[in-house]
Amino acid sequence: NAGVTQTPKFRILKIGQSMTLQCTQDMNHNYMYWYRQDPGMGLKLIYYSVGAGITDKGEVPNGYNVSRSTTEDFPLRLELAAPSQTSVYFCASSYSGTGSAYEQYFGPGTRLTVT
Amino acid sequence: AQSVTQLDSHVSVSEGTPVLLRCNYSSSYSPSLFWYVQHPNKGLQLLLKYTSAATLVKGINGFEAEFKKSETSFHLTKPSAHMSDAAEYFCVVSVRSQGNLIFGKGTKLSVKP
């Protein structure tokens, strides 16, 4: 049982480049999330999904896109990378959604630098 | 609106002494509250959670937290710090009407030998 896995671990992008951050979970969780963590700050929600085919914006969605074609996978796409997107990105999953007792399980993170 | 305030950005203790990390929350609903720990260059790990059952919650590695509704607090404690406790700790509230968790800004715990 691997839990939540993310690839790559590190990436350096030039301004304007595009990339996809991969996230996979093997716990059969319905809910999946993408967060970013900036230095000295807590995590902020980018997008989330309550099941395959359903996604919704979080607090900071601009500059990102997501898709959820399967229960297991929830990739995050950066179309035109900007320096403001330099951050550590965490993917998470949970059995149920908010207001419930079901905690979120986090991946190890992807450290992205845009120069 | 829901919010979380961690009252200390950095706490330093000596090994073997008690740990207190403070957290206040604001929520329109009965909240679910969590403490997560993040070791350097690692993902987040759940320490403990409050879900409207017992107000004193015990977690992993000897940590516990007490939910005090009258004070809107959920402070994290440990009787005796260990060097391996050095990490960043996040207090988190679950938002019922939205699909996300609200994170505090974190408290960095340093443990001196």
Cα–Cα dist B90/B108, whole Å: 9
Inform me whether the pLDDT recorded for B30 exceeds 90. Answer: no
User: Which SS3 state, helix, strand or coil, does residue B62 take?
Assistant: helix
To the nearest whole angstrom, how far is the Cα of A26 from the nearest Cα of chain B?
Answer: 17
Cβ-proximal residues to B4 (8 Å cutoff; 6+ apart), any chain: A42, B23, B24, B25, B26, B91, B92, B93, B102, B103, B104
Q: Which of chain B's residues have a Cβ under 8 Å away from the Cβ of A31?
A: 99
How confident is the model at residue A95, as a pLDDT?
84
pLDDT confidence bin for B2, thresholds 50/70/90: confident
Of A90-99, B3-12, B81-90, which range is least confident? A90-99
pLDDT tens figures, B6-21: 999 999 999 999 999 9
Say which of A31, A92, A101 has its CB closest to residue B32: A101
Which percentage of chain B shows pLDDT scores above 90?
Answer: 70
From residue B5, give the alpha-carbon distance in Å to each of B24, B30, B34, B106, B107.
Answer: 5, 17, 13, 9, 10
Asked if B32 and A101 touch (Cβ cutoff 8 Å), the reply is yes
